[in-house]
Structure 1
Amino acid sequence: MHLPGTLVRIRGTRHATGLAVAARWSDSMSNVKGNALGGFKNFVAAQHGAAGVERWLEALSPQEAAQVGGIILPHGWYPVGLWNRLTDHYLTLFGGGHPQCFRPIAAAIAEEDLQRFFTVLLKAASPATVLRRSASLWERYFDEGTMEASEVAPRRYTVRLTASRLPDRGPGPITCSVGIPVWQERLMSHMGAREGRCLHTRCRFRGAKACEFDVSWG
């Protein structure tokens, strides 16, 4: 059951409970998976309470705030513009504008997802095997962009993300510079890799054609 005015896409099908909301959903928008958005909301609620969530949602329109404030379906898709605006607003509201304040949020999302959705993969694969599946892992979170990994040395890979820079088309700079490295490092930690490290070395928001990450472990 959807709340009035909510909008979510499940398994490639678009559903809306109001014509005004449906009209705002178009091919010019891209999406983030509900497990990431819901994990973000759960973190805000745990750290800042209901009042903090209400202040956090002020970054959105009333319809959008009702959508995110209601039930978020883990396997649903939500406009990535919501994610980007909520990320930026969180930094302003609770982090003094410092990008690194997003680290515990990314870590919380990664921890929950790795334990809920990736248990079999973590038991059966090595970090190298998982990195070679970067494309499919990326698609579990965003439906815009492509991610690929290439080996540059034993236990060292370059991961490349190509995606739109437009705020309603692709994940923003905080997701790339902080969120992705944290997720990769938590992944390696869960797999027992020592000294796992992911550095954001090139950024599509700073003149590069794609974001690049230097991923290594001991």
Structure 2
Amino acid sequence: MSHVKGSNLLNRHAFVKEKFDPDAWDRVLASLADNDARLLSPRILASSWYPFDLYNRLDLAMCQVLAGGDLELCRTLGVDSARRALSGTYRLYLKDGAEAILRRLAVLHRSFYDSGSLDVTYLGPGQCAIRTVYVPRSTLTNCLVAEGFYRTVVEMCGGLEVQVSEGNCSAHGARFCLFNVRWEDTVTTHPPA
């Protein structure tokens, strides 16, 4: 069974508390199966590991309860996750530009997921491919979160006209997810490989 770090779930909790009414988190928890709700209440521990499937069910429940089933909320969750990640410890990476921080995503991935992998291939100025393996597989909600996350990371580094598209998706039977990221680069530094 795959797991995610509790800090990922705490980010979801903080997002709901900041963006929705005071009872929104309780409504999301009430929509989950009892076992899932118990894992998320009364407290989520940042350093603990939680089932990856729970993480995906939480995202889906948030879309259903808070957005009337609109999965676009997942991209917004990705935006929020990137902003939270890059406003803390990892904010120092922003000055190095999009290419540098995207290359570091593999290390970040291992910090927050106990299985699977993430590899970034630089394809030239302002473009890369991000190959992600989720165990056992990704979900549509997870991929939408990733799209929002990658786009926001590049934008926070000064990238303009950012486009993220998913070519392969393990949620649809592919062996891995493949995201193509393109942007107009405003930073001309060349980070270490």
Which band: TM-score by shorter chain? 0.7 to 0.9
The aligned runs of 1:55-74 (5 Å cut-off) are 55-74=27-46
Cα-to-partner distance string for 1:33-89 (whole Å, 9 max, x where unaligned): 222111111222233334221221124444542431333233332221221111111
Q: Corresponding residue for 2:180?
A: 214
Shift of the alpha carbon at 1:198? 1.8
In structure 2, how many angstroms separate the alpha carbons of the residues matched to 1:70 and 1:171?
28
Q: 1:172 aligns with which of 133, 139, 146?
A: 139
In structure 2, how many angstroms separate the alpha carbons of the residues matched to 1:99 and 1:172?
12
Structure 2 residue runs of 5 or longer lacking an equivalent are 185-193
Shift of the alpha carbon at 1:145? 0.9
Q: 1:208 to 1:64 in 2, by over 3 A?
A: closer
Residue 126 (structure 1) aligned with residue 97 (structure 2): yes
Q: CA RMSD in A?
A: 2.0
Greater than 4 Å deviation, 4+ residue runs: none
- Tell me, what secondary structure is at the counterpart of 1:158? strand
- Tell me, what secondary structure is at the counterpart of 1:181? helix
Cα-to-partner distance string for 1:120-179 (whole Å, 9 max, x where unaligned): 2222x22222222232121232112111011223221111111224xxxx5522111x11
Give the counterpart letter for 2:89 in structure 1: F
Q: Identity of paired residues, percent? A: 26
The answer as to whether partners of 2:138 and 2:170 remain within 8 angstroms in 1 is no
Q: Corresponding residue for 1:137?
A: 108
In structure 2, how many angstroms separate the alpha carbons of the residues matched to 1:162 and 1:111?
23
TM-score (norm 2): 0.84
Of stretches 191-200 and 54-63 in structure 1, the one that deviates more from structure 2 is 54-63
Larger RCO (CA under 8 A, 6+ residues apart): 2
Q: How many residues align?
A: 184
TM-score (norm 1): 0.76
Q: 1:36 to 1:156 in 2, by over 3 A?
A: same
Residue 201 (structure 1) aligned with residue 167 (structure 2): yes
Asked which structure has the greater CA Rg, the reply is: 1
Give the counterpart letter for 2:116 in structure 1: G
Q: 2:120 aligns with which of 142, 149, 167?
A: 149
